[in-house]
A and B are shown apart, each in its own frame.
Chain A
């Protein structure tokens, strides 16, 4: 067994046992076992994790904080889907650094050390008309439950899947089920239409006439440019922010961003905010604070695996 595999496996043995005895309640059945794992796109994995309490309590727009094993960081991940009956939550994770790479090493049947949630304020869901839900790349996963909830509330939901190329797209069927209609756009035209998320919105606006709201989730530049466009078009726009987080419960302020000139904690005030009021440049800069440390952590991980 490789060093990394041992490291990750350790998470299982170090996990505190579920309390036993006559008081044992369903309330306490937390084990965070990985039940299913599948590759959606290169370096993008779907994880179905046992977490009955989270599955039951969660609402669209909420996220979890996960710690893969002893020694690893706490990272925030949006709940892409949940099954309250089976007691599972679905997470979609792109391998971008050491922690997500460690996560990819976890095998079905093993446990994550920690999973806390559901965190954040749920999406405000109301019947407002035609809503466009744009998922950019990995942002398709967090936009999925929001589209579900908006449709369930009686809105006409148009989903837009946007990515650099066809290989990076996923959840096509899931989004078709969640939306009334789904459109696909790629930067290079390898699937669907050629162009950016902003082109998709312009097209829909031209056809539909009136969009009541846009929900855009994806990389910061994509959310920034979508918000810029919709501001010009006068369309209300919600974005979901993904800053650096530690606790995820509002006790550190590491995730703070400026919204309408005021400092907000994304983990409790968000993660969704009015895209027209978010200071995206500040968010990008804050996301880059630990670039060097992330590189070093990755180097260490590679060494461990060898």
Chain B
């Protein structure tokens, strides 16, 4: 959808002088002890004021920064006027999961990084993500959006493999186009990383459930407890569906193969977060799945997942949470906001440090991590300065829980069980833009193609694939 271009208002100066509305948040000390959402969301008046900061650019670059191409000025203009239902309608015509995107997108690198208001001296970009989230929250609180239009049924059936961000975004678009969509999920709950990975305090699971329920209302069916590759193969699905979209994500945790890594209390971030988020180990009164609650927790890594793990450990009652990262603060791949939140909550950042082995007790439980100091050397092929170990710098930290969060590889279930599917380093090879794989009628997108990336990039890939699947279903040409 083309972005809205409206006549430029006369009060530009006033708009420029309106300050960016701060996000209200729980007190850092109090929130470190609960699993409730950290940020509280803008009030209606603040959201209107924030939308008022939009200066009606002739060529709104913010839209280009959005992987799913939301008509940002369009919905901001409606919010400014207080027309929340219209605003939400505009938002939902391109993005059916705004409550999620408004919370987890790295807007500072996307839409907000291109905002012209933010480019002017001494000013900051319009908080697009916060307004988006406001609209989604407004709907959840009882507001009613303009209903999403669904095309008449086409009679075509599409299987979506995996119910993470890529799968859900693809399913939403296809359903809107009138195709019958069935989503297959191996876990007992849909949502992928949104339910097992991202913690409750960043993305409440009730919100994810609500967004998914909205998709089901549009006619998308979700089948849980179904592992494509094992319960049925891609070949089996081909017999029953006109097209297949594989979005199985990057769910294979990497370990470092260090001595002692199989001691009790040492988790991959995936296992740790799955136990806590999906299985509800944070609430042992109602859930049976256990998790080791340590006094001294060491998290290895510097990405968003490491921040999530560290902040989760704190909320499980750890006295000291130490995040060990082999490079310096500037190279940390986590979002700045997440790093700030973690720092505020008292996570100890031990930088330029890497674990070299784990020490255990006679019961096989971890008691300490031995680390080595690092120095930054020459820039590597990715442009980041390569860390080099400092000889003789060994030192130990006490640890009864260690969470290894150094990244994930592509989920191997589909590639391993689909002989005709071309892969590269475990990732499915899909053509840029279309998501077409080496098998006719089979598309792929999200982390299974990109490697571990972000929620919104996966959603973007899902939307692209939906457009390409729609074209294929109409023309039949491959």
Contact = CB atoms under 8 A, between A and B. Distances in A.
Q: Do A and B come from one complex?
A: yes
Interface of A: 16, 19, 21, 23, 25, 27-28, 30, 32, 53-54, 57, 67, 71-74, 98-99, 113-119, 246-247, 249-254, 256-258, 263, 268, 282, 285-286, 288-290, 293-294, 296-297
Interface stretch (B38-46, B168-176, B247-255, B469-477): B247-255
A25 B240 contact: yes
B252 A297 contact: no
Contact of B227 (A116, A282, A290): A116
Nearest to A102: B288
A136 to B, nearest CB: 23
B180 A251 contact: no
Interface string B187-214: 1100000000000000000000000000
A273 B224 CA distance: 30
B261 A263 contact: yes
Nearest to A19: B221
Contacts of A288: 264, 363-364
A67 B189 CA distance: 12
Interface in B212-252: 221-227, 230-232, 236, 240, 251-252
A-B pairs, top 5 by smallest CB distance, nearest first, are A285-B364, A293-B290, A251-B251, A252-B271, A19-B221
Interface stretch (B101-109, B115-123, B272-280, B427-435): B272-280
Contacts of A99: 288
Interface in B378-407: none
A54 B413 contact: no
A57 B236 CA distance: 11
A53 B226 contact: yes
Nearest to B264: A289
Contact of A252 (B221, B225, B253): B253
B438 interface: no
Given A23-B182, A253-B270, 17 more contacts: A19-B221, A21-B180, A32-B225, A114-B188, A114-B225, A118-B230, A246-B289, A251-B251, A251-B270, A252-B271, A254-B267, A254-B268, A268-B413, A285-B363, A286-B364, A289-B264, A293-B290
Contact of B186 (A21, A249, A253): A249
Nearest to A301: B288
A297 B288 contact: yes
Nearest to A68: B288
Mostly, the A contact residues are: mixed
Contacts of B94: none
Contacts of B253: 251-253
Size category of the binding interface on chain B = 35 or more
A246 B273 CA distance: 11
A116 B290 contact: no
Given A246-B274, A297-B288, A263 B188 contact: no
Contacts of A117: 227, 230-231
A30 B251 CA distance: 25
A253 B274 CA distance: 11
Contacts of B274: 246-247, 251-252
Contact of A253 (B231, B268, B364): B268
Contact of B231 (A21, A53, A67, A256): A53
A24 B448 CA distance: 28
B10 interface: no
Contacts of A249: 186, 227, 230, 251, 411, 413
A28 B185 CA distance: 12
Contacts of A254: 267-268, 271
Contacts of A252: 253, 268, 270-271, 274
B402 to A, nearest CB: 13
A71 B230 contact: no
Contacts of A98: 288
B292 interface: yes
B315 interface: no
Contacts of B226: 30, 53, 116
Contacts of B180: 21, 23
Given A113-B188, A289-B292, A250 B251 contact: yes
Contact of B264 (A19, A253, A286): A286
A263 B227 contact: no
Contact of A246 (B230, B279, B286): B279
A247 B412 contact: no
Contact of B225 (A116, A246, A257): A116
